Amino acid sequence: MNKHIKKVAVIGSGIMGSGIACHFANIGVEVLLLDIVPRELNDKEKAKGLTLEDKVVRNRLVNDSLATALKSKPSPIYDQKFASRITTGNMQDDISKVSKVDWIIEVVVERLDIKKQVFENLEKHRTPGTLITTNTSGIPIHFMSEGRSEDFQKHFCGTHFFNPARYLKLFEIIPGPKTDSEVLDFLNGYGEKYLGKTSVIAKDTPAFIGNRIGTFSIQSLFHSVKELGMTVEEVDKLTGPVIGRPKSATFRTVDVVGLDTLVHVANGIYENCPDDERREVFK
């Protein structure tokens, strides 16, 4: 596949979406970052007399998320001026702009029903041949591509970045049942050459590789902590640098990843692995 990535669209501006957007900006790629439109005004907007139709309100979620990411540490952006490569918008007013990008990356909440709805909307505007991938932490890829066109499925797979996207090396590529082998080869090489990652082709099994192992480790520890009556501080003291692991240890790592994400991944493994000999660990 002879493809040059000049512009990507990142759908979802949470901690992962904004982080991925920043990492593409780091390597010189233009980014379109989109999120949903707020359902109601906040107090500041009410005080200014704004309405839900004002652009500043409609893009509030995406702009606030990106601003928060740019202030975070470790910084997701190599140089603050690189943030100018990121254009923000919302899923109602700006979704048609995905027709002009080379790669669409979905990074919305870990719910299959929401992801499928997002893909249905994206397909209405996606140009045939455009790469389209999901950053899901563990939802089976074949569930998400059901009902989509042949061209969509041919160019669709999982591209799982780990948080923080700029710093963690692992880049899981998970094919769906109809993913073209040339798409996998391209993403594998792009991850290594341009994104600075260690690319790994994973099987489409619940939680793939990293999160299947990591979630088992964390969940197993949680059960032990409950039995032993240990505190959060004690657990992080014993499961960090003292045993050769990062200083974020266990609970701080979960805090960075997001408790909601951990719960979604653990539940997904429990529901989709009925024959796993250690299935109860994920409950």
Q: Which of 187-191, 252-256, 267-271 has the highest mean pLDDT?
A: 187-191
The span from the CA of 135 to the CA of 127, in Å, is 20
Which tens digit of pLDDT belongs to each residue from 152-177? 999 999 999 999 999 999 999 999 99
pLDDT confidence tier of residue 256, bands split at 50, 70 and 90:
confident
Q: Which residue has the tokens 């990356």?
A: 105
Sheet strands side by side (includes 7-11): 86-90, 30-35, 7-11, 103-106, 131-134, 156-161, 170-175, 198-201
The string of pLDDT tens digits covering residues 216-252 is 999 999 999 999 999 999 999 999 999 999 899 999 9
State pTM to two decimals: 0.93
Residue type, 168: L
Indicate the SS3 state at residue 152: helix
* 121 neighbors 114 (Cβ within 8 angstroms): no
Phi, psi of 32 (to 5 degrees): -105, 115
pLDDT band at 279; cut points 50, 70, 90: very high
Which pLDDT tens digit goes with each residue over 131-142?
999 999 999 999
Q: 260 falls in which pLDDT band (50, 70, 90)?
A: confident
Percentage of the chain with pLDDT > 90? 95
Burial 126-164 (b: 16+ CB within 10 A, else e): beeebbbbbbbbbbbbeebbeebeebbbbbbbbbbbbbb
